[in-house]
Amino acid sequence: MKGRCARGFSLVEVLVAMTLALLLTLSMTTLHARVLRLSLDSAAAADAQDALRIALALLEYELAHAGYWGLVPDAATIEGRRGDAIPLEVTVSGDCGPDWSIDLDRPLQAWSSGWPLECAPYAGAPPRGGMLVLRRVETGTAAPEAGRLQVQADFWGGRLVADADALPPGYEGRDLVARAYYVSPRAIGDVSRPALRRKTLQRGPRLVDEEIMPGIAALEIELGVDADLPGDPGHGQADAFVAPETATAPVVAVRLTLRSHDAPGLVLTRTVPLRNGPLP
């Protein structure tokens, strides 16, 4: 009896198998690419959200302490401020206007757009969105230091100094904080990417411009105003949130909105009550 001859695959069968294998490989490659792209997009969105959260947390802290003067409850009792009969004679390098840094009677200022300061923004580029100016003292005490603007005070009053004046008995010294937050269309190292920046008072005394967080597209500000009189229901709470230019009643809260550049459509908003009482 003759043995059976072994039969292999025909050319057509081999071509069909190769085609199916190629299609399967292409499908797997496409699926992998999509998964990788979704993973990268998710990571970028998470990074963008973290950037907004960090920036908002910083601004929230600054707002919560606006108008804080240490032992002194009111800036009106601090000698040497801009609104005093005899303002402190001090030159602040790069200041944003005459006695801008020592304008303690205005611990909070805000604008919806534009550049209202006399100093120049970073790289001379007009900012995106609003601007927020905050003044206060640091929460921790500090020793007298030459070239550092400080408020020395007790419970009844204080004075503004810049020449390491010795602390009078019963006084505490705190470094003065004066900052202007805005969004520049140019980040460091990438002129096509915006960034949150601030003008801030430092040792010198001098005002420097520093980058806080890249990838922030815009800063939007609304002021919560309280028109209720003391003793009225709702006094101390915001009746409405309005554009800074239209606020006429005392400000008790600030609503901040940050928009992301790296994740278009991503927006975070936070409302911050002012801890140190209504601000004019």
Among 134, 135, 133, 132, smallest CA distance to 258 is for: 132
pLDDT of residue 124: 85
Rounded to 5°, the CA angle 266-223-278 comes to 135
Give the H/E segment covering residue 259.
strand 251-260
Tokens 């100094």 belong to residue = 161
pLDDT of residue 35: 65
pTM of the model: 0.84
pLDDT of residue 157: 95
pLDDT of residue 37: 66
Burial tier of 239 (Cβ tally within 10 Å: 0-12, 13-18, 19+) = middle
pLDDT of residue 229: 83
Report domain extents, the chain: 64-273
Written as one string, the DSSP assignment of 160-225 is: EEEE-PPPPTT-EEEEEEEEEEEEES-BTTBTTS-EEEEEEEETTTEEEEEEEEETEEEEEEEEEE
pLDDT of residue 191: 87
pLDDT of residue 253: 95
For the chain, residues with pLDDT lower than 50 are 1, 40
